């Protein structure tokens, strides 16, 4: 059941310490220690939170959330190895409740067993329920890996028993470093005289997936003869694109195209192009994309990109999500199509999105300012004697249900976070705010 592959492949039998030379490059370059692990320094760097757990000699149950190829599977292996704990891996694609219970039963005799579940978001509620008791009692330390938001895909009871950590996309520097180290250190590649003149196509086609990047590098090197005069193989963008066209023409809902297509889809709706939006929707549906994933993204877009320019957009997106959850495919394509056209042709505004982002940034920068005395709760006599809640003006006691008073902390008085968008609906909101607040907020 143990896995032994690099950068989140399907679980396979563990490889020996010195993998055979016919193994894929990504497997040959699999990190053996945390010191060799690339990226995720916020987790495993000298000050990383997981380093602190390891220093304390224990590991809590974890959910590792991040895109493909950033090292979730590898990190799980290395964490267990650092603590010398037994390691068992299951794939949610082909494991069931029976497999989970077998692992838990064996773990009772092997204290500290780490149970790694790849693609844990694919586990049903009953399968996730089967983990609860063992995780809570500490029979197993669960490490789940997921490319989907665990808030939606992992049951709350399990989430409450595990720490969620986000793995970030690997930077260009990390990815190019992996290429350079592979060429310099891999026993097979270093026999060849290879020079990378251009990295762009390698990085673009692999989509930030380190496993795909290394395997693509190997394909390109093997398929490219050395120059007859210099004996050098030069890797250029044109060469990589020529040898990897099949990567560009295929939608892989678990790979880089998944992220490229959903990006094009969202940007088409944001850009008010229903035709392009329907095309990218069709690409995802034909590729077998989860309709709930699509509908969730529409929910976010309805608030982020339309907002109060058309409040009905959020309600329709919510109805869409509920409908596709109940109906499923194939009929859900009709509901998704209707919603996509509505959202694409709606008036747009990101004013609310920008407002909450600016407000949160200010709180992170300055900390929390004191609540004004009139706005404070006064549940006890002492607090009332201290003036809490006094001078508060109850808005409904005034004409128009409005009384001008200060709601922000004194240090932030007059600060404007919400800037109404340039659309008919929010222009009405701007005029209303101007009538209420006069020059206070500059509306």
Give the pLDDT band (50/70/90) at residue 22: low
For residue range 301-320, what is the model confidence (pLDDT) as tens digits? 999 999 999 999 999 999 99
Using an 8 Å Cβ cutoff, are 145 and 73 in contact?
A: yes
Q: pLDDT at position 151, please?
A: 79
Q: Which of 93-102, 203-212, 240-249, 257-266 has the lowest mean pLDDT?
A: 240-249
Residue percentage of the chain with pLDDT more than 90: 14
| Alpha-carbon gap, residue 376 to 121, rounded angstroms | 42
Q: Stretch 392-417: mean pLDDT, rounded?
A: 85
Q: Stretch 57-70: mean pLDDT, rounded?
A: 85
Helix H or strand E segment including 118: strand 114-118
Which domains, ranges and CATH numbers included, belong to the chain? 25-166 (3.40.50.300), 172-248 (1.10.8.60), 256-345 (1.20.272.10), 369-437 (no CATH)
Give the pLDDT band (50/70/90) at residue 372: confident
Residue percentage of the chain with pLDDT more than 70: 90
Q: pLDDT at position 11, please?
A: 41
For residue range 167-216, what is the model confidence (pLDDT) as tens digits? 888 888 888 888 888 888 888 888 888 888 888 888 877 777 888 888 88
Average pLDDT along the chain: 82
pTM for the structure as a whole: 0.54
Q: Which residue has the tokens 């919603």?
A: 339
| Alpha-carbon gap, residue 159 to 62, rounded angstroms | 9
**How far does the chain reach from its first CA to its final CA, in angstroms?**
63
Q: pLDDT at position 342, please?
A: 94
């Amino acid at each position: 059941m143990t896995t032994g592959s690099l950068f989140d492949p399907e679980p396979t039998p563990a490889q020996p310490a010195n993998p055979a030379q016919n193994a894929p490059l990504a497997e040959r370059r699999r990190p053996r220690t945390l010191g060799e692990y690339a990226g995720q320094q916020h987790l495993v760097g000298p000050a990383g939170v997981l380093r602190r757990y390891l220093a304390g000699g224990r590991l809590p149950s974890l959910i590792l959330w991040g895109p493909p190829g950033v090292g979730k599977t590898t990190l799980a292996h290395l964490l267990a190895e650092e603590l010398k704990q037994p390691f068992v891996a299951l794939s949610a694609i082909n494991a069931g409740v029976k497999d989970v219970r077998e692992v838990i039963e064996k773990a009772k005799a092997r204290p500290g067993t780490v149970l790694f579940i790849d693609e844990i978001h694919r586990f049903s509620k009953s399968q996730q329920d089967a983990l609860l008791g063992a995780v809570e009692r500490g029979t197993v330390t669960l490490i789940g890996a997921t490319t989907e938001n665990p808030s939606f895909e992992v049951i709350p009871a399990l989430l409450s028993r595990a720490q969620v950590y986000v793995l970030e996309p690997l930077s260009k520097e990390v990815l190019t470093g992996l290429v350079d180290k592979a060429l310099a250190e891999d026993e097979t590649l270093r026999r060849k005289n290879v020079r990378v003149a251009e990295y762009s196509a390698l990085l673009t086609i692999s989509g930030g997936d380190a496993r795909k990047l290394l395997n693509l590098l190997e394909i390109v090197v093997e398929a490219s003869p050395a120059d007859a005069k210099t004996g050098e193989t030069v890797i250029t963008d044109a060469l990589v694109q020529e040898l990897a066209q099949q990567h560009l023409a295929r939608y892989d809902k678990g790979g880089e195209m998944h992220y490229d297509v959903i990006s094009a889809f969202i940007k088409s709706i944001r850009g008010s192009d229903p035709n392009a939006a329907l095309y990218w929707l069709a690409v995802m549906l034909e590729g077998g994309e989860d309709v709930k994933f699509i509908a969730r993204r529409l929910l976010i877009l309805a608030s982020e990109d339309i907002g109060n320019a058309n409040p009905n957009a959020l309600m329709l997106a919510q109805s869409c999500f509920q409908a596709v959850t109940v109906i499923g495919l194939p009929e859900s394509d009709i509901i998704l199509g209707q919603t996509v056209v509505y959202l694409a042709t709606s008036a747009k505004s990101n004013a609310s999105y920008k407002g909450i982002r600016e407000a949160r940034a200010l709180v992170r920068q300055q900390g929390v300012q004191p609540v004004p005395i009139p706005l404070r709760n006064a549940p006890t006599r002492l607090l009332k004697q201290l003036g809490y809640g006094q001078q508060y003006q109850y808005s409904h006691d005034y004409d128009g249900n409005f009384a001008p008073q200060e709601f922000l902390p004194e240090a932030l008085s007059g600060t404007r976070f919400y800037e109404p968008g340039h659309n008919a609906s929010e222009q009405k909101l701007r005029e209303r705010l101007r009538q209420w607040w006069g020059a206070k907020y500059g509306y």
